Structure 1
Amino acid sequence: MNLYIVRHCKAEGQPPEAPLTEEGFKQAEELPDFFTNKKVERIVSSPFTRAQQSIQPTADQLGIEMELDDRLAERTLSTQPMENWMVNLARTYEDMHLKFEGGESSQEATDRAMAVINELKSDNKDAVIVTHGNLMSLILQHFDNVNGFEKWKDLSNPDVYHLSLDEDMSLKRIWS
């Protein structure tokens, strides 16, 4: 089974309703060609506007109805403003259970993402999931034992990884 993990295209901001930028819409128009020669049977997206807008052209071209799943929404680090949020974010990759006020630990976020992936794996259909940088980096850390914080800093908008969930599990960045 093949899973394509997509980080949304460039967006105007972080709120759930933030749309894509003009450049982001152009990027979203490039994604369908990227998936043309790949077998895709399902598309599951974060409910955030920027994620849906990123993958809608692909869903339209492939004739696949996009499914929304709240478990692919971006992780909330904290509901309180943080002056040193970057340092605190890095700490949450070192201590997967560290949790700030109103936020979600890295482990909690990873667990909800893995629940989606495990359901897709049991369905045994090649799929695209569309999510956000922080959650994507936690997924990558789970499968590849990489430094998730460093991986997060290296992600682009958009970004695409191919995860093969066959006997010889492999994970590879395929967006360039």
Structure 2
Amino acid sequence: MNKNIYIIRHCEAGGQSSDSPLTEKGFTQANALSKFLSNRKVDRIISSPFVRAIQTIKPFAEDANIEIEIDNRLSERILSSSFYSDWMEKLEATFNDMNLMYEGGESSREAMNRIVDVVTEIEESDAGNTVMVAHGGIISLLLNYYDKEFGFERWKKLTNPDVYLLRITKNDAQYTRLWKG
């Protein structure tokens, strides 16, 4: 069982809400991402339902003639339903305490579990090479699952877009950052 999962953070968007579209620059990035992926074998594409995630992968999906599967578990993590002026400090605290939860939000552990569940299903599928499009917060929690050093500081260094390759074998799982843009 060898699986390659291309973990993609969406391109530049005009906001944080689920219906925020890509910016003009984001659409240009999506086309560049399509070219970047064009020489890679891909069997399956799974995306967050957020507009910016779908728009990020749509050029590649159309070029490769692969249907985009929507999975709600790839939605961005909800830190809280309340506004916090110190949200960065609150977010950092959730990397230090994976069970910390704010009003109306989910803990890092809960968010991590839902994206890990998607990866587990990919591992059990027939697809050898899968593209998974999501968001910085949830992606950083997935990478933290495999590498405890991937925390708040590494989250801050993610780019829009960003691409990581997660290689899963029978006995191991390793990731590599592919995007240099």
Aligned twin of 2:121: 119
Q: By how many angstroms is 1:169 displaced? A: 2.3
Partner of 1:76: 78
Does 2:94 match 1:92? Answer: yes
Q: TM-score, normalised by structure 1?
A: 0.98
Runs of 4+ in 1 over 3 A off after TM superposition: none
Query: 1:147 Cα deviation (Å)?
Result: 3.5
Q: 1:27 aligns with which of 15, 26, 29?
A: 29
Opposite residue 163 of structure 2, the aligned amino acid is V
Aligned AA (2:40): K
Contact 1:93 1:147 survives alignment (8 Å): no
Structure-1 separation of matches of 2:125 and 2:99: 30
1:175 aligns with 2:179: yes
RMSD: 0.8
Contact kept, 8 Å, 1:10 with 1:158, in 2: the verdict is: yes
- Structure 2-normalised TM-score? 0.95
User: Any idea what the Cα deviations from partners look like across 1:126-155, whole Å, max 9, x if unmatched?
Assistant: 100000000011111111222421111000
Instruction: Report how far residue 175 of structure 1 moved.
Output: 0.2
Structure 1 position 168, deviation (Å): 4.0
1:13 aligns with 15
Gaps (5+ residues) in structure 1?
none
Extract unaligned runs of 5+ from structure 2. none
The answer to whether the aligner puts 1:4 opposite 2:11 as a matched pair is: no
Q: Which amino acid aligns with 2:83?
A: P
Q: Which residue of 1 aligns with 2:148?
A: 145
Percent identical pairs in the alignment equals 48
Give distance in 2, aligned partners of 1:175 and 1:9. Answer: 12
1:40 partner amino acid: V
Equivalent residue, structure 2, for 1:159: 162
